[in-house]
Amino acid sequence: GQNIDQPTEMTATEGAIVQINCTYQTSGFNGLFWYQQHAGEAPTFLSYNVLDGLEEKGRFSSFLSRSKGYSYLLLKELQMKDSASYLCAVRNTGGFKTIFGAGTRLFVKA
Amino acid sequence: DTAVSQTPKYLVTQMGNDKSIKCEQNLGHDTMYWYKQDSKKFLKIMFSYNNKELIINETVPNRFSPKSPDKAHLNLHINSLELGDSAVYFCASSQDVGGPRGTQYFGPGTRLTVL
């Protein structure tokens, strides 16, 4: 079957670092994406990993281990505006279908 | 300058009605998608078109019919609406289907409420 697991909710403090984990089991693998979704808005693209290792983009970094079926999104220097849901998504072989996790709701407190 | 646009943003209708949601992208992308996001926030793929050809057709009731008149447009028509169709429907597009060019960009969503 195909499954993506993420924690449902996380809380962190402004200025801190938070790591959101994602584990997946899919029929084939052709890339992993992280999206941010604020309440009532559309998902917006954050990062893409297809090879093992860390991709860094400003305050956000994403890590992938294909052998472990594992990824994480690291958010540094948290800001209040980072309060949102973070969706992990995996594209299957052939590239046509992307499976989304249920998302992790991150609450950033002062 | 909107990249992916959808109309309407909100749609409230009675059970049994037929409705359409329109989607347009001005990014020059070849691939477009329709997703349904239910109350539990799962984003589920419904359909995908690549160069106007249907490439993904998930297990969706045949009351739902996509139409792609050209690469920039993918509309969704829903017949005989049911209570369970209430959700937010997102349109998305990507340059291609694979690699980083497969990154999807989402429209603002259409919140459908069936009474």
Residue A96: which pLDDT band, with cuts at 50, 70 and 90?
confident
The token duo for B99 is 């690699």
Residue B62 backbone phi and psi in degrees, to 5: -70, 5
> Are A95 and B98 in contact (CB < 8 Å)?
yes
Taking chain B (115 residues) in runs of 10, the rounded mean pLDDT of each run is: 90 97 96 92 90 85 93 95 96 89 94 97
Cis before B8 (ω within 30) = yes
Residue A67 tokens, joined: 């052998």
How confident is the model at residue B1, as a pLDDT?
64
| Predicted pLDDT at B39 | 83
What pLDDT, in 10s, does the model give residues A15-43? Answer: 999 999 999 998 789 999 999 999 999 99
- Is B109–A42 a contact, with Cβ atoms under 8 angstroms apart? yes
**pLDDT for the residue numbered B55:** 86
Identify the closest residue of chain B to A104 by CA–CA distance. Answer: B41
Q: To the nearest whole angstrom, how far is the Cα of B81 from the nearest Cα of chain A?
A: 23
Beta-carbon separation of B109 and A41 below 8 A: yes
- Average of per-residue pLDDT values in chain A: 94
Which chain A residues touch B102 with a CB distance below 8 Å? Answer: 30-31, 91, 95, 98
pLDDT greater than 80 at residue A8: yes
pLDDT in the model for residue B102: 87
Per-residue pLDDT, B99: 81
Query: Does A49 score more than 70 pLDDT?
Result: yes
State the smallest CA–CA distance between residue B96 and chain A in angstroms: 9
Q: Where are the beta strands (DSSP E) in A66-110?
A: 70-75, 84-91, 98-100, 104-109
Q: pLDDT tens digit string along B47-71?
A: 999 888 888 888 789 999 999 999 9
Which chain B residues are closer than 8 Å to A44 by Cβ?
106
